[in-house]
Structure 1
Amino acid sequence: MDSEPTWKQLRLSLERPYKGDHGKFIPVVQDITPDGEHIYETKENPSARLGSNLRRIFLERGLDFFEKVTGDNFGSQDPRASAVIKTDEGEDDDEPKIMTYEDLRGMRDEIMGNLAVSLGEMTHAQQVLAALLANPSTNTESQTQSSSQSQSQSSSQAQAQLIAQPQSAFPRPNVNFSATQVTKPAPITSVQAFSAQLTIGGKDEALRHAAGLFKASAESMERTRLAGEKYWVDALKIRRNNWATGKGADKTSKDFLISFGLEESLVQFRRRAVGKLPSYSAASRDVIFPHRRKTRLRVSIVTQDQTGATHTTTNNIPFDSESLLDGALRSAQREIVEQEIFSVLVQEAGNLPTVSAKVSERFIVIDAAQGLELHIELVERSEMCDLIYHGFHLLLLRRHALLKEDRLGPSASAPPVPHNPASVQGEKNPRTKYPILQPIIDLLQYQTFLDRVRSEVMQVVYSLRAAGIPINLVMNIVGETGKELVKLLGSKTNLTVGGEIVLRIFDRHTIRFTFISPSTLVAHLSQSTLAVSSVPQLCQLLMDEVEQCLLNRIRDLGKSLSENVEGTWFIDLDHCVGRWEGCILNFRVTYGPSYAINCTAYFLGCPPGKQGQTHLYPPKDQMKPEFSKWVDNLVRNAVKQSGTGM
């Protein structure tokens, strides 16, 4: 309000003031004398106003009932009127008019009817005045004049009846009946305020209507100005945010189109990825999306655990605030990109080589691995699902970039002739060269594969740690660096990732596995490199390698403890045997449930012929000791029993 000019801040009332500053009514000034005296309008008495209004009824009809109350006046004749009639008759002597009996009778009936109505009205008015005013009047008897000889006998009788009627119709006023003036009590304050509000609201309606028209016009002009400013500000924001814009079909209109589709998308999606910014004269003030469907892509992973329970995780669908111009455009862009991704997934789902898929209009179900299903659907939100959701966007952009590179590359003009028929079919439909669903399926299979490998390896680690055997585990699921992954997205090769698992037992024995997506596992042993093709093969390989590590550890401990007795230790397949003079100690490692470490030691010592002793790990009647300490104590006791001493 401070920025408005002073003339605009002035507020004048369009109503006439009727009360002063002290709340008293302001009288109406009629005149001002030369001496400066004000002459105000006098207030009329309601009773006097009523009397004057009733008196006008009789004055306008030619009778004064306040001076002549009796009905004789109806028969009196005015000499001036008679003279006028005679003068008129004298003037009409030159043109005599003869009236027939029927004309006279009709005129008489018409006049008598009107006179009867007038007589009734005046009689009723006189009675009302006599009752209200109670003004006694002199009882004068009017005399009936003789009728004219030219009138017929029937007309004289009717007129005599009409004239004789008022004598009995006007009774004398009752002197005992008097008028009393009653003053209406003043209303309460709230009623007075309400009445004043009604009076104020009803005044100067025309001025109020005119002021309302001016105000509505000013508001309409202001809204138009603000809408025009907002229109151009929105247009500048769109250009500043690098949204593609263009004119519509009508070159003269101020509406222009906004394109938010991807450059290498199909034509059907680019046509739908269009918005229109309407002019300020349109009813809508926001961006109009004529082909928007408002569907989003949701990725769900359904897994089943060992108990048969089903677990479902979904991705977190991001939503932008559509109250902002840029947010509305980004939401519409996400929707059209996800719709294009879903259309490509529908095409690729039927050609997957290793999995089965069910495809409908807005729903895809893929059996990615055992106990794992991938659901992809268009709907009106786990970390893995978010990765798949954003991975679809990256793979679609990669697909567009590689197709553009193939189209603009030097080999596009003269492509080589392929020798493989499958490649010929791929050249006919180049959009199947760079799939976006197969890498996601490979990723899910890779995750399931790693979960199973990790489960087996972790069971081995837990069992070794339970036996007190030191072990270190290094697991690198994705061995590529960030730069390598970005470079991989820009290459035309298959999108594969790899990693490794390293087990280090007793800080010297190492077991190393490498894997490549989706399900390739290679064991790097000390003697050879072996490809693992199944989980039972992996389990057997882990047990064999751990067993060799434990037997090597037993052999090293035996050599160090039986060095004074010149003991000999060696490994024979799945046994570790120690010999010295008069004694034999044989160790064998076995496994219980979940790779639990069990060991059996058979001791045959002096004197000859004595029955051998069998020792089990873990002991049944004792607490479970560490495996190395148990072997150490057993070898020491065996050396003592041989009689050689330490």
Structure 2
Amino acid sequence: MEEPPWKKLKLSLERPYKDDNGEPIPELLDINPDGHHIYRPREDPTAAVGTRLRRVFLERGIDFFEAEKGTHTTLRDSKDAPEEGDTTQDEGKAAEPSHQMTPEELYKMRVELMSALYTAHGEMCQARDLLTLLLSSSLPNQPSTLPPTPLAATVVTKPAPVVSVQAFNAQLTIGGKDKALRSAADLFKNAAEQMEQGRVSGEKYWVDALKIRRGNWGLIPAPLPLGSATGKGADKTSKDFLISYGLEESPASFRRRAIGRMSTSDGTSLEFPMRQRTRLRVSIIRVSPDGSRHATYNVLSDPDDGTLDGALRAAQAEIVEQEVFAALIREASNLPTASAEVSERLIVIDAAQSTELRFELVDGESLRNDDGKLDSYCDLLYSLLHILLSRAHRVSKSTRLNKASIAPVPIVQLPPVLLPVIDILQYREFWERVRDEIDRVVAALRLAGVSTKVHYDPVADSGETLVANLLNDEPKPIGGDALLRLDDRHTLRFTTASPSTLIVHLPQATLPIASISQLTQLLVDEVCGGLLSRICEMGTGLCERVNGTWFVDLLSGRSVGRWEGCVL
């Protein structure tokens, strides 16, 4: 990954003396009140050298070089020739020597001076050591002969270390400076990296916030931090926001749990402090005549696809299912047509004969769907629970908005959520039993060679009409019908309504059916009557030449034929 351009910038610790164009940077001396800058005037090297040379002549005289030359010449002449008196000296002073020293003479003079200097250096070192020894020894306390002075001072000079110690100290100083520079560079580098991380994190934070708002998720002000001032006149403006993904008309306890916040860490984009990660599973268990149990479940899909919207949808699905389960617990103890067992995470309802309905909160993270046990009817009940919950929320909202005053409104009974589900399940089981009885009669008639047609329509309404009916404040029961036609002559029409209402429509009457045995008896009577009527029609056609008469004896359930004194 290529570093940004600002990381490649090298920062020099040396004071800059030229700008980007190579021009010298002037030194600022002062700023006038009117904002005018005063810089140090630039010195010309040639003028500076001339000034220094002029100072040499002003301070040491114009004949400085001639005086130095005469001094060296006088020393050499005095060494070669003895003094000749005042006259000779006056003549020597008046005469100006013109001889210059050769390199050999300079070297000879240097050797002589160096030997004398070395001797003086040795004597001075011995004197210094002797004084140091004398000063370090303890002297007896003697009365001072010096007059008392009001103020005395002592100057102590620290001796210079040896050459090796000086070299070692220099190495330590250079190493310390190098380490300090490295530490300063590391400090600047760490600060730059932290600033870059903060910038990227801040940009990601607000980009995610805009995506969430664009997805029409609710944003609410975050509470003030712990310890903030809350008194009169204090600033109570929220500095952050929270994400509310619960339903608008949900109870306050569920809305408080449906709260998320934007994460500032690098791991996740959203945090859900109150999330329980449970899903609602709807299962139907049927007991076969041999005692075996067969269970089917609904499909539980995970809406979390790695995006912000997917994470919020997954959290919302969990909190809505928890609200549905809470509503089921409240209504499970008041079911008029079924018994229920309720625990913390499981509701078991004996909805119909040999049929058990279960609602369970399962762990959403370890959930796996078994394809062999999935049932579309369980998916229907699962979706129906959400529709009924939205109906209850709509009624609650309309009641809240219709209040004309601030006076307390009496508690309105919300539409049930569990009872319509039980009615639909019982209706399905009831319809299957009715269908089995009719199919048994149809199979027997077809086996006997009687032309029989049957048509079933368990739900007469369309899907849109059915959903609209469920969303009404007072929904109508679900209805269907069945048509049975015998020998293309006799027709039996059955109408059903949830949960277990059956009505048969006969040509002469409309009868309600209260039990399966009553239905069986009715089918037998109607089929027998139809067959006997068909026999009478056939007998009348055959006995037409002999003026025979055929009729059906309803009391005995027989067809009777008479012709020429014969009775059949």
Q: Normalising to structure 2: TM-score of the pair?
A: 0.61
Q: Are 2:505 and 1:520 aligned? A: no
Instruction: Give 5+ residue unaligned stretches, structure 1.
Output: 11-79, 97-203, 416-426, 586-646
> Aligned AA for 2:246?
G
In structure 2, relative to structure 1, the CA distance for the partners of 1:404 and 1:411 (3 Å cut) is same
Matched, 1:224 2:224: no
Greater alpha carbon shift after TM alignment, 388-397 vs 550-559: 550-559
Alignment of 1:152-231 (within 5 A): 220-231=194-205
Matched, 1:545 2:526: yes
- Per the TM alignment, residue 485 of structure 1 is displaced from its structure 2 partner at its CA by 2.1
How far apart, CA to CA, are the structure 2 residues paired with 1:230 and 1:439? 47
CA-CA distance at 1:302 after TM superposition: 1.1
Match of 2:290 among 307, 328, 338: 307
Q: Paired residue for 1:364?
A: 347
Q: What's the offset of the Cα at 1:206?
A: 11
Q: Which residue of 2 aligns with 1:243?
A: 217
Q: What one-letter code is carried by the residue in structure 2 that aligns with 1:329?
A: L
1:489 lines up with 2:509 in the alignment = no
**How far apart are residue 241 of structure 1 and its match?**
0.9
1:531 Cα shift?
Answer: 0.7
Question: Counterparts of 1:536 and 1:379 in 2: how far apart (Å)?
Answer: 41
Q: 2:330 aligns with which of 347, 351, 356?
A: 347
User: Are residues 217 and 508 of structure 1, via their aligned partners in 2, closer, same or farther at CA, if it must alter by over 3 Å?
Assistant: farther
| Shift in alpha-carbon separation, 1:339–1:6, aligned structure 2, 3 A | closer
Cα separation, 2, equivalents of 1:570 and 1:254: 95
Deviation at 1:297, TM superposition (A): 0.8
* Residues 261-308 of structure 1: CA deviation (Å, up to 9, x unaligned): 111111111111111113x4x455421111111111111111111222
The equivalent residue for 1:388 is 381
- Mapped partners of 2:546, 2:389: distance in 1: 73
How many Å apart are 1:212 and its aligned residue? 7.7
Greater displacement, 383-392 / 406-415: 406-415
In 2, the alpha carbon distance for the partners of 1:458 and 1:209 equals 92
Residue deviations 1:68-127, cap 9 Å, x none? xxxxxxxxxxxx99xx99x989x99xx99xxxxxxxxxxxxxxxxxxxxxxxxxxxxxxx
Question: After alignment, is 225-234 or 211-220 more displaced?
Answer: 211-220
- Check whether the contact 1:345–1:436 (CA below 8 A) recurs between aligned residues: yes
- The one-letter code sitting in structure 1 at the alignment partner of 2:528 is E
Q: Could you tell me how far apart the structure 1 residues matched to 2:406 and 2:505 are?
A: 47
Q: Which amino acid aligns with 1:461?
A: V
Q: 2:203 is matched by which residue type in structure 1? A: E
- Across the aligned residues of Structure 1 and Structure 2, the Cα RMSD in angstroms comes to 3.7
3-state SS of the aligned residue for 1:367?
A: strand
Aligned residue identity for 1:326: D
1-structure distance, mates of 2:419, 2:405: 26
Q: CA deviation at 1:326?
A: 0.6
**Contact 2:504–2:511 (CA under 8 A) maintained in structure 1:** yes
Aligned to 1:233: 207
SS at match of 2:275: coil
**Contact in 1 for aligned 2:387/2:471 (Cα 8 Å):** no
Pick closer, same or farther for the CA change 1:458–1:476 going to 2, 3 Å. Answer: same
Q: Which of residues 398, 401, 406 in structure 1 aligns to 2:399?
A: 406
User: Are 1:286 and 2:269 counterparts?
Assistant: yes
Secondary structure (helix, strand or coil) at the match of 2:270 reads coil
Q: Which runs of 5+ in 2 are unaligned?
A: 11-117, 135-177, 225-235, 364-368, 370-374
For residues 62-141 of structure 1, the aligned pairs below 5 Å read none
Q: Secondary structure at the match of 1:321?
A: coil
Code of the residue aligned with 1:386 in structure 2: it is: D
Report the secondary structure of 2:277's partner residue: coil
The DSSP-based 3-state class of the residue aligned with 1:300 is strand
Aligned length: 389
Identity of aligned residues (%): 50
AA partner of residue 445 (structure 1)? Q
Q: How does 1:2-21 map to 2 (within 5 A)?
A: none
8 Å CA contact 2:395–2:414 kept in 1: the answer is no
Matched-pair contact (CA < 8 Å) for 1:554–1:576: yes
**Is the counterpart of residue 373 in structure 1 residue 356 in structure 2?**
yes
Q: Counterpart amino acid of 2:424?
A: L
Q: Pick from 424, 444, 453 the counterpart of residue 463 of structure 1.
A: 444
* CA distance 1:412–1:398, change in 2 (3 Å): farther
Superposed CA deviations along residues 491-524 of structure 1, whole A, max 9, x for unmatched, are: 2214511111110112221011111100111111
Structure 2 letter corresponding to 1:551 = L
The more displaced of 362-371 and 462-471 is 462-471
Secondary structure in structure 1 of the residue aligned to 2:427: helix
- The equivalent of 1:262 in structure 2 is 247
What SS is found at the alignment partner of 1:366? strand
Determine helix, strand or coil for the equivalent of 2:443: helix
Q: Flag the 1:583–1:332 CA change in 2: closer, same or farther, 3 A.
A: same
2:203 and 2:540 map into 1 onto residues whose CA distance is 94
Give the aligned partner of residue 161 of structure 1.
Answer: none
8 Å Cα contact 2:550-2:560 kept in structure 1: yes
- Per the alignment, do residues 508 and 248 of structure 1 end up closer, same or farther by CA in structure 2, a change over 3 Å counting? same
Q: Deviations over 1:569-617 (max 9, x none)?
A: 21112112233336544xxxxxxxxxxxxxxxxxxxxxxxxxxxxxxxx
Shift of residue 216, structure 1, vs aligned partner = 6.0
| SS of equivalent residue, structure 2 residue 397 | helix
Equivalent in 543, 552, 562 of residue 579 of structure 1:
562
> SS of the counterpart of 1:485?
helix
Q: What TM-score, normalized by structure 1, do the two folds share?
A: 0.54
Distance 1:294 1:528 in 2: 58
- Identify the residue that residue 276 of structure 1 maps to in structure 2: 261
Amino acid at match of 1:372: T
User: Aligned partners of 1:451 and 1:231: how far apart in 2?
Assistant: 57
> What is the Cα deviation at residue 254 of structure 1?
5.6
Is contact 2:304–2:313 with CA below 8 Å preserved after alignment?
no
Q: Relative to 1, partners in 2 of residues 1:412 and 1:455: Cα closer, same or farther, differing over 3 Å? A: farther
Q: Does 1:337 align with 2:320?
A: yes
Q: Is the 8 A contact 1:406 1:412 kept in 2?
A: no
Equivalent residue, structure 2, for 1:531: 512
Tell me the distance in 2 between the aligned counterparts of 1:357 and 1:299: 15
CA separation of 1:268 and 1:575: change in aligned 2, threshold 3 A: same
Contact 1:446 1:517 in 2 (8 A): yes
User: How many angstroms apart in 2 are the aligned matches of 1:446 and 1:412?
Assistant: 43
1:444 & 1:536 partners in 2: Cα distance?
A: 21
What is the Cα deviation at residue 483 of structure 1?
A: 4.0
Work out which of the residue numbers 541, 549, 555 in structure 2 matches 1:560: 541
Task: Judge conservation of contact 1:298–1:377 (CA < 8 Å) in 2.
Answer: yes
Following superposition, the deviation at residue 461 of structure 1 comes to 1.4
Asked whether the 8 Å contact 1:366–1:374 carries over to 2, the reply is: yes
Q: CA separation in 1, counterparts of 2:328 and 2:7?
A: 69
Give the aligned partner of residue 103 of structure 2: none
> Distance between the aligned counterparts of 2:319 and 2:182, measured in 1?
54
User: What amino acid maps onto 2:401 in structure 1?
Assistant: L
The aligned residue for residue 500 of structure 1 is 481
Change (3 A) 1:284 1:462: same
Note if contact 2:261-2:272 (Cα within 8 Å) is conserved in structure 1.
yes
C-alpha separation in 2, matches of 1:220 and 1:433: 55
Q: Shift of the alpha carbon at 1:443? A: 1.1
Contact 1:368 1:374 in 2 (8 A): yes
